[in-house]
Structure 1
Amino acid sequence: MTRDEKRVIAASSAGTIFEWYDFYLYGSLAAIIGAQFFTAFPEATRNVFALLAFAAGFIVRPFGALVFGSLGDLVGRKYTFLMTIMIMGVSTFIVGLLPGYASWGVAAPIILIVLRMLQGLALGGEYGGAAVYVAEHAPQNRRGYYTAFIQTTATLGLLLSLIVILLVQGYVNANYPMVAVLDLAGNPVLNPDGTERMIRAFDAWGWRIPFLCSIFLLGISLYIRLQMEESPAFKKMKAEGAQSKAPLREAFGTWKNGKIALIALLGLTAGQAVVWYSGQFYALFFIQNVIKVDSFTANVLVAWSLILGTGGFLFFGSLSDKIGRKPIILGGCVLAALTYFPVFKALTHTANPALYAAQQTQVIVTADPNDCSFQFNPTGTAKFTSSCDIAKAALSKLSVNSVTEDAAPGTPATVTIEGQVIASYDGSNLSGPELAAAQTAFDTQVNAALSAAGYPMTPGDNITVARANHFFDIFTVQKLTVVVILTYLILLVTMVYGPIAAMLVELFPTRIRYSGLSLPYHIGNGWFGGLLPATAFAISAQSGNIYAGLWYAIVVAVMTVVIGVIFVPNNTHKKNIFVD
């Protein structure tokens, strides 16, 4: 690798790491931010709605790909880079300053989602440009290896965000007192025993610091981007007058190029996306919210798996230069589909053995099928008040595995735990004190029955759950085993993601390359991947099985394998991308 090639990779990768850092801060802090901005919504839906706000940044990514992809093919790769980093950096900084729901009311979550969309637009233009820029500088027989450095940036950006969060969280919580929780009227919120509800300083205000730090990263990124030269392929195309005058129409308006984009989406990026997000973001969400490992420990364990597994991007990128991109990407999808269920079950068994043992207890929800809804609430306005929905929501929140049995029409739902039958209630005709009393009575009976069945209902009940006191507190059999399991998931990520940039670059000609690869990549990763955590959580809640959400990733991965085997071309790694 020459000095100039090293500078190209370093400049592209460093700026892209910072952009991913900005984008993933929200994902890492989704639960905390949800409590700050979505307090008007019921607590049971807060996690799902927070994840959907996270997904808002993904939904608009394909539109960013269209806008900035077209600009990149028209005016060049370098200047598009400068625009995307500015939008990303400024949007992230403003999130750190934005008042919460208690101060600004409904305007706060609306502005938050707008800022997330701006981040998504910026990222939609960033990735394609970085991949194209590096590939167009790389030797033909090393494109997989060179572009794999760009592939590491998403994981390194996530890792950087986790490390910054852990450092800030540890310092703030150790040096600042806990803060009282206030309701919308400014009055203290009380616990059931009459004491004031308190939260740690990081959850109250310290979470803003990593967002505010992005302004310094923005300055560094701008400096790096200004030192970059335009790619040789774009210079050559411009000198020859071979630029496309309408890259979007040329890339997607004809079947010749449009079918390539469709094959790239369904036969490559859709499966790559669900494996990527299952292995990193859904794994983090699953550890925290489903198997009840505290957020600090979860971040530590995931951070170590990222450190151990990130080298896989370079390994599989380099291997793809020798044996091809297609078998590695599709092989990763196959392994994911075959192993996700046993791997996530092993994660529960290792990280929270008391919860795993309790889940072997049979819990039955008996309900009229017409009384049960699919509890997916993307707008936060739907109300699930039937007796079946109330029962399933309560069990899902406690990570209880249950089965549903049909009851006669009109029969109120019941929950059976080790022979004890607990009647649910219909909340549609109740309000105020009556509703609160019914909810308290039901929750008290369910919690007591689950506790008797072995479920750890409070942190004090569960002394076997994985817990780290600091970043290097992982050297126990339990925590090392969790890190190994998570590292396996990261290695699957590196298989599908390491070679994907080179593969996509090789599918499209220079004149429409930026536009052509950006759209299928961001539809795959933005829609199929970005919506995975919220979709999987909702599926699990509805089915009564905490692992059922994995079917979403498995089905998409298998679809990609079938389409990829039939339609994706072989040996693209031997293609000269400077000859169109």
Structure 2
Amino acid sequence: MVSIPTDLPKHHAATQSEKLVIAASSLGTVFEWYDFYLYGLLATVITAQFFSGVNETTGFIFALAAFAAGFAVRPFGALVFGRIGDLVGRKNTFLVTMGIMGLSTFLVGLLPSYASAGVAAPVALVLLRLLQGLALGGEYGGAATYVAEHAPNNKRGLYTSFIQTTATLGLFAALLVVIGVRMALGEEAFASWGWRVPFLVSIVLLAVSMWIRMQLAESPVFRKMKEEGKASKAPLTEAFGQWSNLKVVILALVGAVAGQAVVWYTGQFYALFFLEKTLKVDGATTNILTAIALALATPGFVFFGWLSDRIGRKPIILAGCLLAALTYFPLFEALSKAANPALYAAQQTAPVSVTADPADCSLQFDPIGKNKFDSKSCDIAKSYLAKASVSYSNIAAPAGAVAEIEIGGVKISGVDPAAVSGDARKAAIAAFQDKAKAALTAAGYPAKADPAAINKPVVVLILFVLVLYVTMVYGPIAALLVELFPTRIRYTSMSLPYHIGNGWFGGFLPTTAFAMVAATGDIYYGLWYPIVVAVITLVVGLLFLPETYKRRIDG
């Protein structure tokens, strides 16, 4: 096992032992993120496999909600495993979390589909996602704390930045596996059964990760604290039952992590979903372009971690939030223009509007998955446009009016459900949808993005900028959180705000943003969610967040 002397000077060049700690901790965490993010990359396939019993728009939002379910329980994992980590040690705790994560991911690859098992399939999927979330809730805090407690005082940002690269590298690894399997099998076979392969191979990664982690010894800071009898006997009570520490937890969440989380998930996941679902770029191309951008931007994590050791954590994190809030709208509009120029041109030259009685319009998201949106004329019109990922504006009509779609000056009268029923209603809806489809086609709205027309260098550049913002907010965050809390309750205290921020503010971002888009018809409307959260973090962080980069953490 790697044994680190506890009497090393706190400012020194990295030793071979410390380099091994960083490499082993980071590599193990990469594999855990690989497991967790496979689901996000395959959201469209997951929709078809496990949520085929509902309409397409609701199915996709359900798939994103199941993706978010893993994030929802991360704070609870942080409490459970954070407490264990502060009581019994960092190393053994993240061995347990790794085992849970790896086995849960492997089992996803064995699940039956909705077609063969009915509702039991999505229920089992969600349960496995919950287990993954619990495990990840204990993993990150352990790895970040473990590495930080090995680092010299003047290099904590640099050392922990390697842990910060693991989420992106895990996503990158998952992208490479998915791309490789897709190319080897073809899209038809991949959609049918090949999507299971990336989940099943995770059992190999689990074995490698467990072996790597077992080579490590306990953190020297934790060992010293235990030897001196200073360990906390009740980490949860001490961390959250005492206002002096609880207020720091709240400040860390609102003034740093919440903004970091929404910038991260917008740059790495919402952009990916936006390309594939809204801009209709095929999945393989989306994955390849995203992988290139990730590869180019990933060194930014280490750079900004290193920079935070010199100028501080706070200015870099808050600058990333500011840049994101100021540029998301123009960047995503530019992404639309580069990725699907025909769609972008059609939106400019032949805008779509829905004129309807506002009282006749429902939210285009069905929480129980059974609404066909065919009982109101407004719902019939909007559900078709939402399914087609067409952006539209809303115009209020007098009470009782039948909804009408206008596509580039061509008006199409909607269906009055009160006037028809049964098979006649189905026929009327089908005829309306055929007319709308023909009008959209005539106006230049493409069914899919033309691969030859995609400006790939510009798409990669935009994705690179979005991920660069991620590196700014995420590179220094581990060092900041470690430095905010004392050793005796560090694992517990830092894990909770991190996982509430990333699990709830970040993890629910794709679901929330797409539901906002479905509700308004504006494909860019979902961006208001990360922008508002980033601005709140910017303001709170500027006013109240302390700078921590010169603090010692071995006390």
- Alignment TM-score > 0.5, same fold: yes
Aligned equivalent of 2:160, options 131, 134, 147: 147
**1:191 is matched with which residue?**
none
Cα deviation for residue 545 of structure 1 reads: 1.1
Cα deviation for residue 544 of structure 1 reads: 1.5
CA contact (8 A) 2:57 2:386 kept: no
Distance 1:23 1:482 in 2: 25
CA gap 1:108/1:511 in 2 versus in 1, 3 angstroms: same
The number of aligned residues is 540
**2:179 is matched with which residue?**
166
**Range with greater deviation from structure 2 (539-548 or 383-392):** 383-392
**Counterpart amino acid of 2:31?**
F
CA gap 1:162/1:550 in 2 versus in 1, 3 angstroms: same
**1:516 is matched with which residue?**
493
Aligned equivalent of 2:319, options 331, 339, 346: 331
Q: Name the SS of the counterpart of 1:97 in structure 2.
A: coil
Aligned equivalent of 2:359, options 370, 374, 378: 370
Distance 1:549 1:289 in 2: 14
Cα deviation for residue 554 of structure 1 reads: 0.3
Does residue 348 (structure 1) correspond to residue 336 (structure 2)? The answer is yes
Cα deviation for residue 353 of structure 1 reads: 0.6
**Range with greater deviation from structure 2 (539-548 or 205-214):** 539-548
**Counterpart amino acid of 1:34?**
T
Does residue 388 (structure 1) correspond to residue 378 (structure 2)? The answer is yes
Does residue 446 (structure 1) correspond to residue 436 (structure 2)? The answer is yes
Aligned equivalent of 2:309, options 313, 321, 328: 321
**2:136 is matched with which residue?**
123
**1:457 is matched with which residue?**
447
CA gap 1:382/1:250 in 2 versus in 1, 3 angstroms: farther
Distance 1:346 1:278 in 2: 15
CA contact (8 A) 2:55 2:372 kept: no
Q: Which runs of 5+ in 1 are unaligned?
A: 174-198, 467-477
Cα deviation for residue 401 of structure 1 reads: 2.3
Distance 2:422 2:177 in 1: 43
Q: Which runs of 5+ in 2 are unaligned?
A: 1-13
Identity %: 63
**2:65 is matched with which residue?**
52
Correspondence list, 1:273-352, <5 A: 273-352=261-340
Correspondence list, 1:61-460, <5 A: 61-173=74-186, 200-360=188-348, 361-382=350-371, 384-385=373-374, 386-425=376-415, 433-457=423-447
Distance 2:72 2:366 in 1: 16
Cα deviation for residue 398 of structure 1 reads: 2.3
CA contact (8 A) 1:49 1:379 kept: no
**Range with greater deviation from structure 2 (392-401 or 534-543):** 392-401
CA gap 1:141/1:449 in 2 versus in 1, 3 angstroms: same
CA contact (8 A) 2:56 2:387 kept: no
Cα deviation for residue 457 of structure 1 reads: 3.0
**Counterpart amino acid of 2:506?**
G
Cα deviation for residue 8 of structure 1 reads: 0.4
Distance 1:256 1:389 in 2: 51
Cα deviation for residue 396 of structure 1 reads: 2.4
Distance 2:421 2:185 in 1: 40
CA contact (8 A) 1:95 1:211 kept: yes
Q: Normalised by the size of structure 1, how large is the TM-score?
A: 0.91
Two-structure CA RMSD over aligned residues (Å): 1.4
Q: Name the SS of the counterpart of 2:121 in structure 1.
A: helix
CA contact (8 A) 1:293 1:465 kept: no
CA contact (8 A) 1:143 1:502 kept: yes
**Counterpart amino acid of 1:536?**
A
Distance 2:80 2:425 in 1: 50
CA gap 1:10/1:335 in 2 versus in 1, 3 angstroms: same
**2:533 is matched with which residue?**
556
CA contact (8 A) 2:380 2:429 kept: no
Distance 1:72 1:379 in 2: 39
CA gap 1:377/1:129 in 2 versus in 1, 3 angstroms: farther
CA gap 1:463/1:297 in 2 versus in 1, 3 angstroms: closer
Distance 1:432 1:374 in 2: 24
Cα deviation for residue 105 of structure 1 reads: 1.3
Does residue 568 (structure 1) correspond to residue 538 (structure 2)? The answer is no
Cα deviation for residue 362 of structure 1 reads: 2.4
**Counterpart amino acid of 2:369?**
G
**Range with greater deviation from structure 2 (356-365 or 504-513):** 356-365
Distance 1:51 1:163 in 2: 21
**Counterpart amino acid of 1:342?**
P
Q: Which runs of 4+ in 1 moved over 3 A?
A: 376-379, 381-385, 426-432, 462-465
Correspondence list, 1:30-49, <5 A: 30-49=43-62
Q: Deviations 1:351-405 (Å, cap 9, x if unpaired)?
A: 1111100011222211111112222334434553322222222222323222111
**2:7 is matched with which residue?**
none
Q: Deviations 1:432-474 (Å, cap 9, x if unpaired)?
A: 5334312211111111111111111356xx46542xxxxxxxx
**Counterpart amino acid of 1:540?**
V
**Counterpart amino acid of 2:511?**
A
CA contact (8 A) 1:536 1:550 kept: yes
Cα deviation for residue 43 of structure 1 reads: 1.9
**1:494 is matched with which residue?**
471
**2:42 is matched with which residue?**
29
Aligned equivalent of 1:481, options 449, 455, 458: 458
Does residue 526 (structure 1) correspond to residue 518 (structure 2)? The answer is no
**1:473 is matched with which residue?**
none
CA contact (8 A) 2:281 2:451 kept: no
**Counterpart amino acid of 2:432?**
F
**Counterpart amino acid of 2:459?**
V
CA contact (8 A) 1:61 1:121 kept: yes
CA contact (8 A) 1:62 1:526 kept: yes
Q: Name the SS of the counterpart of 2:394 in structure 1.
A: strand
Distance 1:415 1:109 in 2: 35
Q: Name the SS of the counterpart of 1:416 in structure 2.
A: strand
Q: Name the SS of the counterpart of 2:525 in structure 1.
A: coil
CA gap 1:487/1:388 in 2 versus in 1, 3 angstroms: same
CA gap 1:415/1:256 in 2 versus in 1, 3 angstroms: same
CA contact (8 A) 2:412 2:436 kept: yes
CA contact (8 A) 2:281 2:448 kept: no
**2:4 is matched with which residue?**
none
Distance 2:549 2:235 in 1: 24
**Counterpart amino acid of 1:248?**
L
Q: Name the SS of the counterpart of 1:366 in structure 2.
A: strand
Cα deviation for residue 162 of structure 1 reads: 0.4
Q: Deviations 1:116-160 (Å, cap 9, x if unpaired)?
A: 000000000000000000000000000000000000000000000
CA contact (8 A) 1:412 1:424 kept: yes
Distance 1:124 1:429 in 2: 54
Distance 2:436 2:298 in 1: 43
